Amino acid sequence: MLEKFYPDLQANRVQDIDLDFLIKKNIKGLILDIDNTLVPEHMEEADENAIAWIEKVKKMGFRVCIVSNASEKRVVKFNDKLNVDVIHRASKPNRKSFLKAMEIMNTKASETAVIGDQIFTDIYGGNKVDVFTILVNPIDKREYFFVRLKRIAEKIVLAKMKNRKN
């Protein structure tokens, strides 16, 4: 039952993801979260690390779509320097936003990966549409109260996943 929350891959941060591995898996499109995945939650704009990584990903031929539960204003401002496709107020883990992102990128589920820092939004949503899911560690410990509560449940899920693999 908990398997629907398990990521296919885990990485410390987006920069640690083996992009050549994704190419070998025939991944062509990346659905990305913003907050605590690409930058800390409190940053309004993409920083140099996020910009450099997105440029690298695009140069390698990946299509990119940011899918965020944040407001249009937040997502548009963040995307200003990145110039990628975006979906705001995505209502993750709702399937609709993930399917829309694949439509925008013109990718099939088997050619798409979701990268995010939250199990109950990014990973669960990606698993619901059968894409490859990658969980990264949150960049910053400063998070909204509700997110901090979800982190407690996430630790339980990850511990069960680890025990299952051992």
pLDDT single digits (tens) 27-71 = 999 999 998 899 988 788 999 999 999 999 999 999 999 999 999
What's the pTM? 0.89
State the Cα–Cα distance between residues 160 and 84, nearest whole angstrom.
36
Residue 25 reports pLDDT greater than 80: yes
26: left (phi over 0), alpha (psi -120 to 50) or beta: left
pLDDT-based confidence at residue 86 (cuts at 50, 70, 90): very high
In whole angstroms, what is the distance from residue 135 CA to residue 30 CA? 13
Q: Quote the domain boundaries for residue 75.
A: 2-165
What is the mean pLDDT of the segment spanning 81-105? 96
What confidence score (pLDDT) does residue 41 get? 82
What percentage of the chain carries pLDDT values higher than 70?
90
CATH code (residue 68): 3.40.50.1000
Q: How many domains does the chain have?
A: 1
Q: Is 11 exposed, middle or buried (0-12, 13-18, 19+ CB in 10 A)?
A: middle
Q: Say how far residue 80 (Cα) sits from the centre of its chain.
A: 19
3-state secondary structure of 2: helix
Q: How confident is the model at residue 154 (pLDDT cuts 50, 70, 90)?
A: confident
